[in-house]
Amino acid sequence: MFRLIRDHYFLAISLNHFAVDMLNSQLALLVVFLAPALDLSNADIGLIVLISTSVGSLTQPIFGWLADKYGLRWLSGASLLWLILWMSFGVLISVRWSIPMLIVGALGSAGFHAAGTERATDRGNLILIGKTATAASIFFLFGLTGHAFGPAIGGVIIERFGMRGILLLTLVALPVAINSIYRLHWSVKDSDTSEVLSADKKESNSQNAYKRNMWVIVVFVLLVLFRTAPGMTSMTFLPKLFQDRGYSPGGYGFITSVYMFATAIGGLAGGMLADIWGRPRLILWSLLAAVLPMYYYPVIEGNLMYPLIFVAGFMNGASFSVVVVLAQSLLPNSRALASGLTLGFMFASGSLGAYLFGLAADLYPLPNVLQLNAVLCLLAALLSLFLQKDASAQNA
């Protein structure tokens, strides 16, 4: 693992991921900050976040297809430059145009996640000799870390310097983008990655024939849907759940950070274990282990809720990177497209799930609505049995 982190190529992509998600996490803060000036209601805020998330997710397959077809290794760094540019415009110009600028900037996130994931897994496969899930988990750990610490950093900056203080973050991210373009485009020859690409295709042809069975893809899509919604709804409504219990912003902010930190650590552990146990098996047991903590954390009070929240985030996050790597095996000749399709669908379905949970929480108690996440984890685990059976039959 440490050998991979010391690799300049992989580190450049991972730092790029940290910067992208750190800037992405500023959107919610900026929208809330602008709400009084723009007279935005809570529904307006939710709609803006949903639109921005959709722009940054539904367009990912397009960027993935472009990266596969034309080999755009520089796309990762260029995508961060795009995000830096439009976010800087958004905080500099009139507040009436800030929201549209920030939404346009979300295309940079789409371009990076589609192309960057494919580059990171390929490089990891080369350095760690086949441990693709481990490489993916390390790559996503950087992104989740940026997403976790971004709001805390951005909140302090906005409080002290106003909205334009976000320019400090875009300036810090600028050399990261330039370094990424240099490392991925000029410092590595095509021959350095061609061998791992051909090896991946041979491995995919011999061990992963999922694409021959459309039913497997249908099951996989449903699995991603049921697995992603609990994570997104928990991150969205944990602050509201504990605000309703009388917690201060610092209190429910800390609880939310516990969940997000557990998700990041779980993703790293899950990727490493998947290379030992197998991907479908890791998905099955991690989701089964998430059922009970997902069911009880919304209704338990006292000190016991902290370990329950941590375990819920850890177990749900364990399969994140594994699902993406499994998707790449479904489309071995279009790995960037597979990454874009999967991540785009995960972000979009997660946002839609959070919206539906919000509608349900207006009619029923929020703790009871959040308990539905346990049912979704169980359904996802049962669907993974089909993938495990299919993989065992093909390997035999």
pLDDT in tens, 302-343: 889 899 999 999 999 999 888 888 888 777 777 778 888 888
Q: What is the pLDDT of residue 210?
A: 42
Which pair of tokens denotes residue 346?
Answer: 């995960």
Q: Cα separation of 320 and 266, whole Å?
A: 9
Residue recorded with tokens 């334009």: 164
CB 122, CB 67: distance < 8 Å: no
Which pair of tokens denotes residue 100?
Answer: 């549209």
Q: Cα separation of 15 and 217, whole Å?
A: 32
Residue 186 per-residue DSSP state: I
Q: What is the pLDDT of residue 154?
A: 84
Q: What is the pLDDT of residue 1?
A: 65
Ordered by where they begin, the domains of the chain are 1-206 (1.20.1250.20), 208-396 (1.20.1250.20)
Which pair of tokens denotes residue 110?
Answer: 């789409």
Predicted TM-score (pTM) of this structure: 0.77
Q: What is the pLDDT of residue 122?
A: 82
Low-confidence ranges of the chain (pLDDT < 50): 190-191, 193-212, 392-396
CB burial of 168-191 (b: ≥16 within 10 Å; e: otherwise) equals ebbeebbebbebbbebbeeebeee
Letter for the amino acid at 144? L
Q: What is the pLDDT of residue 108?
A: 92
With a CB cutoff of 8 Å and minimum separation 6, the contacts of 195 are 126
Among 4, 15, 111, 2, smallest CA distance to 55 is for 111
Alpha helices in 244-319 (DSSP H): 249-277, 279-296, 305-317
Q: How far apart, in Å, are the Cα atoms of 333 and each of 159, 176, 200, 213?
A: 48, 29, 9, 16
Q: How far apart, in Å, are the Cα atoms of 254 and each of 117, 138, 306?
A: 29, 24, 10
Which pair of tokens denotes residue 343?
Answer: 């991540």
Backbone angles phi, psi at 365, to 5 degrees: -60, 135
Q: Cα separation of 268 and 272, whole Å?
A: 7
Task: Please count the residues of the chain.
Answer: 396
Which pair of tokens denotes residue 23?
Answer: 């800037």
